[in-house]
Amino acid sequence: MRSQILAALLASAALTVGALAQGAPPGETKGKTDDLEKLQAFKSTGTEPAPEVPQTGRRADAIRKTLAKIKLPEGFKIDLYAVVPDARALAVGPNAGVVFVGTRKSKVYTVTDRDKDRVADEVRAFAPGVSFKVPNGVCFSRDGVLTVVEQNRVLAFPAAEFFYENPDVAAGIVVKQGELIPASEESYNHTARVCRVGPDGKTYIALGQPYNVPPADKLDLYTKTGIGGIIRVDADGKNREVFATGIRNSVGIDFAPDKSLWFTDNQVDGMGDDTPPGELNRATKAGETFGFPWYGGGAVRTAEYKDQTPPANAVAPLAELPPHAADLGLTFYNGKQFPKAYQGGIFIAEHGSWNRTTPVGARIMFATLGADGKVASVKPFAEGWLTQDGEYLGRPVDVAVLLDGSLLVSDDTAGAVYRISYEGGDK
């Protein structure tokens, strides 16, 4: 169904571009059709293929040297999967296993393991003719449509993992530039979006709000538009709905087997080294609110809203995470390679603190769930990117399960994607 909707969207775009080319009134078209419009009309842009990102040399050697210091549970090992500049959100193609990597810059990268030796053979920029702006969010639908969520636009690329090698790929605009959030609210802060395609076929998008704590006169606008929350739209961008509110800045969302939506939330800065905690939350239905900005994290009240009554129906986090560790991407482990103790649990990437007296984070955490579906524990799984001297050797951003059941980890500081595999004995 999703691919049929996108096919209709692409056909509509092609007719529109064709009509413009056949003689629209003067002044109603741009002087030059841009590359995205050409791709919508299935026209060649003349763009050259992007150059390959080198996978050998001093940079790769230095990354491997760092990985030798990473501590993992017995039986696990970590290797360099690919050198990917500014690597952020990860999306694994459901059919061929090609990995698409978003960034906070201007590129989305493709990572290809052609010989299936679990090391990338080729890394290139995807759709080099498209001018991306903060294309952090990448996610796949089950039928292979890649969604790219930028700062203020959403694009879709049908069958991306089969046609990505050509610089010209089929493309559709799901949400036009300037319509994901009001242009007045565009900011350099908290602008890295993430997305997931839900069990209902809709695209869920987390929209961080630009402030540490927003002023009261912004709350109505943010509630209405979903800024500081999570929205959902149909595959063609229609039927937009604010799914959840009261979220400061989530940069990690994923669906549980029971179809509930789980997400991390980065909490308020400037309240001290040890408060407030980060959050792991669960949304079970549309319309829930999660307490921000009345709460800065967990049950800690913000100074700005301490005299106001919080919403009575505010949903508390299922787990409180280490203060200021910057928990970002998360994924339910749905593979079979890891031991049963990990199957069905949640891996979380901690980016690491930026303003704490003693830095924390820069590791992969694992949340174990009990039989009741609640969080039983959250413990370090992979660590060592933060030295005892407080130096970051890397900063994990996202986690994703490769088709063979191994775990990918992105790192925007090192500019790399790692692969964690299990080679132990009994599972």
Q: State the sign of the Cα–Cα–Cα–Cα dihedral 314, 289, 267, 344.
A: positive
Note the pLDDT of residue 10.
Answer: 57
List own/partner pairs for 341-344 with CB under 8 A and 24 or more apart: 341/368, 342/366, 344/257, 344/369
Please give the Cα distance from 348 to 394 (Å, whole number): 15
Domain assignment present for 408: no
Note the pLDDT of residue 41.
Answer: 86
Instruction: Looking at 58-202, list the stretches that DSSP marks H as alpha helix, in order from N- to C-terminal side.
Output: 58-67, 160-163
Domain assignment present for 2: no
Q: What's the structural domain count of the chain?
A: 1
**CATH number of the domain bearing residue 343:** 2.120.10.30
Domain assignment present for 346: yes
Note the pLDDT of residue 26.
Answer: 33
pLDDT, tens digit, 9 for 90 and up, residues 264-321: 999 999 999 999 999 999 999 999 999 999 999 999 999 999 999 999 999 999 999 9
Domain assignment present for 5: no
Q: List the structure tokens of 283.
A: 């949304």
Note the pLDDT of residue 56.
Answer: 96
Note the pLDDT of residue 110.
Answer: 98
The whole domain housing 351 covers 35-398+414-422
Note the pLDDT of residue 31.
Answer: 33
Note the pLDDT of residue 42.
Answer: 85
Domain assignment present for 274: yes
Note the pLDDT of residue 15.
Answer: 37
Low-confidence residues of the chain: pLDDT under 70? 1-34, 425-427
Tell me the sheet residues that pair with 288: 244
